[in-house]
Structure 1
């Protein structure tokens, strides 16, 4: 990813499961995480919801090495770089994001770019370096006491997996296939994220025309949602007017690429409302180097359409998730460094509580 002015858009595409493994350095949605650093992966204690205590589910990862204007890595230690996003499926109130980076020469991958073929370096697997939970893919703490073949991050996922695993546990005549292992209700559907450049000319012209039209309507007193209803309280009318500009820009920018699930644009987020927009002081500094965090990319609400959610039962929802990362791409701290998410809902919401800000914790819990 570069520091260009235009946005790069991410779209969901079906892909062969082998093409989404760690050794192919994928950007993807759902399934289990395809870890970058294969040894020092987050444990279950790193991926707990502070609201309900349940384990967080893997939402997506974006392979995002940062290059300078000459196309060279800004730092030798982040030749490879992936940002991971997790969320709570149980209550929908906690989101976490982690950054992992590696130099070109490292203990996991060859220095050349991966080749797009299934048998390319099949020995590069996470199990070679550490054990991961068979249910969710994060760091494991125990194994099945009977067969000793299935690893788990804790009792919660071992119990959840038992209904499927019991058919194979201690069965010497058969074992779970990789496909069977990868399917469970905790995981989101898996897709590859493909990146395309946004075409700006037509979009910018449309937005400019619409904003000019909005300004004309404001001068005539017709811009508010309730402008033609004299019985509506003036304050409500003012709220409708002030929200038009942000939502109109959001709507007009995305209508040309309605399936976009990622907007990668280091300039600024595309907010869905004028409510609950963070100020600079709201963005916690990096807890590892005390450096400034800057906006990197955002997760769009269109992604919700691909997650097989039941709108009547599942609480997960957002207008946009803005990801802020350390501008220094620092190397201090753990190999998976927690970064910062700001969740904004359509129409605004109660300002999120930033937990443990004194410790630099970047987790957001929305009220």
Structure 2
């Protein structure tokens, strides 16, 4: 991940990608979505993964490997995000249903080689948290309790023990087949998260090259103009209580309708225009930069760290990640309605500037 100065910023954008499972192990310092966490500090794993709204365990959403190589204590550095899968806990401008953790290690540490990893399935396969701690068979968090009958499978709490029992452990308990297992449909689908520099042409660049506008650029401009017209028209219809005529019209972008009528129309148009320059990306990394706000109505003041009082700085945002990742789970999780769904325009992550 790039760390840039504000005068010459390079934003990294992330895409989800299918890959072989072994590449997502802790020894390769992955950025990933779904599955179980690939822990960085293999002996010190957080155990407070419960939603602040409902008290139930959160599911692993994603992790971003973001080292700061010129800071000794941050040579290896990963940020982990967990989310409650209950749609009732998902509320506007609230992070109560999320858990975010930052972990960092020196280059010389007790787990990983001083030299870069070798991209082979057979390279140091024992370097994983399971060799240092007992982990929950369902979610991969610290497993502080175990099945009282077979004593072979560990869990983070009663909720996941019950879930695993119903999912099939009752059929294998106390047998030679009793082992750690993933409960179907509970974990999110697992993908690699790969990043590359953003392909971005600023508005100023468009103006400078106006005399040499290509056919493709003309089409982009026409698309943006059409989208802006659509947004203004929908706002007018909302004010006149005639917006219903758009219902069922698949040509109107769903997100456009969600944002229309807000005070942040211009902000949203800028957001949408820039997002579309890199189609399909689900993450934007710009440590120390500025987030790409979805709407001016949702811009918020970021409070300082409650532990040390230091100011927080923007690090990355996950844009429409839920749509990319959860689409195959909506039926299983009961999240396939507009009224009850885990959804957000963008998820912003801020971290403390100090790295002690």
The answer to whether the superposition gives a TM-score over 0.5 is yes
Deviations 1:80-130 (A, max 9, x none): 000001111013431121100000011111111111110111121212211
Q: 1:296 maps to which residue?
A: 315
1:83 has 2:79 as partner:
yes
1:8 has 2:12 as partner:
yes
Q: 1:275 maps to which residue?
A: 297
Q: Contact (CA 8 Å) 2:31, 2:63: kept in 1 or not?
A: yes
Q: What secondary structure is seen at the aligned counterpart in 1 of 2:266? A: helix
Q: Contact (CA 8 Å) 1:28, 1:193: kept in 2 or not?
A: yes
Q: 2:52 maps to which residue?
A: 50
1:253 has 2:290 as partner:
no
Q: 1:61 maps to which residue?
A: 63
Q: What secondary structure is seen at the aligned counterpart in 1 of 2:296? A: coil
Change (3 A) 1:134 1:10: same
**TM-score for the superposition, normalised by structure 2:** 0.78
Q: What secondary structure is seen at the aligned counterpart in 2 of 1:96? A: strand
Structure 2 unaligned runs (5+)?
Answer: 91-96, 211-217, 242-259
Distance apart, 1:259 and its partner CA: 1.0
Structure with a larger share of its residues in helix = 2
Change (3 A) 1:74 1:204: farther
Q: 2:336 maps to which residue?
A: 312
Q: What secondary structure is seen at the aligned counterpart in 2 of 1:318? A: coil
Using the alignment, how far apart are the partners of 1:40 and 1:87 within structure 2? Answer: 20
Moved over 6 A (4+): 207-210, 227-231
Using the alignment, how far apart are the partners of 1:327 and 1:110 within structure 2? Answer: 27
Aligned residue runs from structure 1 range 22-33, under 5 A:
22-33=26-37
1:104 has 2:123 as partner:
no
Using the alignment, how far apart are the partners of 2:133 and 2:348 within structure 1? Answer: 31
Q: Contact (CA 8 Å) 1:30, 1:188: kept in 2 or not?
A: yes
Using the alignment, how far apart are the partners of 1:78 and 1:309 within structure 2? Answer: 35
1:122 has 2:125 as partner:
yes
Aligned residue runs from structure 1 range 329-344, under 5 A:
329-330=355-356
Using the alignment, how far apart are the partners of 2:112 and 2:155 within structure 1? Answer: 26
Q: Contact (CA 8 Å) 1:293, 1:326: kept in 2 or not?
A: yes
Distance apart, 1:284 and its partner CA: 2.5
Change (3 A) 1:114 1:242: same
Q: What secondary structure is seen at the aligned counterpart in 2 of 1:304? A: helix
Aligned residue runs from structure 1 range 205-220, under 5 A:
205=205
Using the alignment, how far apart are the partners of 2:61 and 2:237 within structure 1? Answer: 43
Using the alignment, how far apart are the partners of 1:228 and 1:274 within structure 2? Answer: 19
Q: What secondary structure is seen at the aligned counterpart in 2 of 1:249? A: helix
Deviations 1:21-58 (A, max 9, x none): 11111100000111100111011xx1111211111111
Q: Contact (CA 8 Å) 2:136, 2:143: kept in 1 or not?
A: yes
Change (3 A) 1:240 1:9: same
Structure 1 range deviating more: 125-134 or 311-320: 311-320
Q: Contact (CA 8 Å) 1:143, 1:150: kept in 2 or not?
A: yes
Change (3 A) 1:226 1:319: closer
Distance apart, 1:184 and its partner CA: 2.5
**TM-score for the superposition, normalised by structure 1:** 0.75
Using the alignment, how far apart are the partners of 1:227 and 1:139 within structure 2? Answer: 49
RMSD, aligned α-carbons: 3.1
Change (3 A) 1:207 1:17: farther
Q: 2:245 maps to which residue?
A: none
Distance apart, 1:309 and its partner CA: 3.6
Q: Contact (CA 8 Å) 1:224, 1:241: kept in 2 or not?
A: no
Q: What secondary structure is seen at the aligned counterpart in 2 of 1:23? A: helix
